[in-house]
Each structure stands twice: as structure tokens, then as C-alpha cells.
Amino acid sequence: MTEMVTGLVVREAGAEPVPARLRLPEVGSGEVRVRVRAAGVCHSDLSMVNGTVRPPYPLVLGHEAAGEVIQRGDAVTAVAVGDHVVLNWQPACRMCWFCTHGQPWLCATSSGVAAVPNGVTLDDGTPAHVTLGLGAFAEQVVVPQNAVVPVPPELNLVSAALLGCGVLTGSGAVRNTATVAAGESVVVIGLGGVGLSAVATARAAGATPVIAVDVSAAKKGLAEAAGASDFLVSSPNLSKEVRALTQGRGADHAFECVGRAATIRAAWRATRRGGAVTVVGMGRADDIVELSALDIFSSARTLRSSVYGSSDVDLEVPALAREVLDGRLALDHLITDRIQLADVPAAFGRMAEGEGARSVIIW
């Protein structure tokens, strides 16, 4: 067995995550060991704790991360020791129906898997599960080679970590799922790391106006830094306010980046007839969205979701990395707190209160 490492573990739903000693499995054929250098605190991690998602416990948290390969097993061809990599929480098998039909983000092997056992144990020998196959709130992880994506060594690993979930999800929703075009109007509801990435990508695509919406007025500065032309505090009058900014019609595209029935309905109402609503946030199974049959027919709107930005991660993470290095994609404004592992519960608290964008654990 391998050396012990420290990771962040939650033992049951609703419990506070605590640092714990972990024993990782040996690196097997087709696997790599990665020393994690930075990990973003994503809302999906909070969902693993608060019951929105109900994974098995004990659970090692974390899935948005980057680091360096420090060991590789037999038959590994994708990376070498020393390579800088972004972790991929939904690696494509490249063999199932979805992968062979151009939808690797819906891979039948990895899609919908909240947590898996992969040989990690607590220091007392208790088997642990790892979030989305990674468990990246740990000093090291052992993962299959298709769960890592090489990035240039000159890319800061703190920035690289954000590419693995928040940035890819938000940008992919705009580029791939909705294919926003220049001149179209966009409203983005929910301004965490994903929503702010959607705002920035819509602005880069030439959308106008780009309306950013959040429950917190304190997000106005972040929205403007991301490129929003307008900022609105969410209220029952949101649809009227959006129409006032879109010549009375409503937005061509709405992106819901919260994952709640109420905000999905708000996005629906803020969209013009014939427009498109893209749900990016992951919600609860018992939070039901209700729309009338007449409204669905007469509005001619499209309602769809965007899973992992409808992205082929192996292609799009390197492309995003190049955009960062070329200065075409700015990420610094997304990082509002640089923290240590023990600070994650406080970061969850800020997230629940709608404060900031991304907290990033720096190892």
C-alpha cells in the first residue's frame, strides 16, 4: 500500500467535512498518481454534503483540480511523470453509444456517477468513496489516465484547476450547448464561478446585452469584471426588467446557473418567445419545475440542460489553456479566496450565502 496523505472527508450527509488521513491504492495498469497543487471549491462539492446529491459515505470531497503526475502505471500513454494536468471528473470511455455519437459528456460509463470506491481507505481501514471518481481535496489522487488532461507547464496550476469544472461548464454552455452568436441577447442567472464564466464567454461571443443576475448586490463588481453590460438583483420583477433591456421581447438566451426550480422558471419568463433556456445548475431530485402546457406551446421556447458544458474535455481544456496563456481568457477575477484545506467549511458557508466566486485550495 502507498503512503498516507491528507484529504477532506465528510462522514455523513449534513456533517461538517474534516481533514483526515487517507491511504491511497497502489498505482495500477493504466493509472496515474497526481500530486494535487490547487483545487476549486465547487457548488457540486457542497451538494455532496448538504443532501442535494446523496452519495455513499464516508466521502473524500473535491473534483475541480490540477496538479502534476508523479507516478504512472503500466500501459499509460497519455501523460509522463512531471506533466501538469487538469483532472477530468467525467472521463469518456470512447466506446459507448454516446461517445461514438459525438456526446462524450454523456458517457454511459462515467455520467451520473456521484461517487465511487477506488481503493482509498481512512487511516482506520474504513473504505472511503471519492467524489466523481476523483476525491481531489487531497494531497494526491490515483486515477485512470483518461481522467487527466495535460496542459502546458507555463500555465499557472491555480488557473488550470478552474478549467476542469467551473470555466469549462460555463463557457461550454454558451459555446457548445446554446451556440450564442454575435448580436444575440443573453441573461445569466447565478454568478458563481460557472455563471461568471458564462457571462465572460457570452461577451467574448459578441452577445449584447449580457445581463447578469444574482440575489446579492455585492456580485455587481464581479459581473462587470466578467464583461456584463448590465447587472440586476433578482426579484419578482426580473422578467420585466430583462424585457426593458431587450426591446420589450426578453432575452434570446437565458442561462440558469443555480439549479433551483424557482430560478429555472425565472429564466423561462425572462426569455423571449422562441428563445432558449439552458439549465446549467444541478438541482435536487425533488425540486419540481412546473410549466403550463399552454405556456410551453404558445411561447415556443426551448428548455434544455448543459452537462459539463457539452464539452469533449480532452479537446476543450487544452484549448481553454491556450486562451489563458494568450491573454484571451482572464480568470483572476474568479478567484475570490485562496484557502487551506481546513478552511473549506467556511468556503461552503460563503457559497451558501452567495458570497464571492471561487475559493481555491492551494497545497
Domain ranges of the chain: 4-164+330-362, 167-307
Which pLDDT score is estimated for 51? 78
* Among 152, 171, 139, CA closest to 65: 139
Quick check: do 4-164+330-362 and 167-307 share a fold?
no
Which residues make Cβ contacts (< 8 Å) with residue 296, sequence separation at least 6?
Answer: none
β partners of residue 122: 22
Dig out the grid coordinates for 328 from the structure.
Answer: 484571451
pLDDT at site 2: 66
Q: How far apart are CA 216 and CA 200, in angstroms?
A: 19
pLDDT for the residue 338: 96
CATH superfamily of 4-164+330-362: Medium-chain alcohol dehydrogenases, catalytic domain (3.90.180.10)
Q: Which of left, alpha, beta for 282 (phi over 0: left; psi -120 to 50: alpha)? A: beta
Q: Note the pLDDT of residue 1.
A: 47
The pLDDT assigned to 110 comes to 87
Q: What is the pLDDT of residues 77-109, one digit of tens each?
A: 999 999 999 999 999 999 999 999 999 999 999
- Digit-coded pLDDT (tens) for 232-279: 999 999 999 999 999 999 999 999 999 999 999 999 999 999 999 999
Q: Which residues of the chain are modeled with pLDDT < 50?
A: 1
- Asked whether 256 and 281 are in contact (CB, 8 A), the reply is yes
Could you say which architecture CATH assigns to the domain 167-307?
A: 3-Layer(aba) Sandwich (3.40)
**Ramachandran angles phi, psi of 317, nearest 5°:** -65, -45
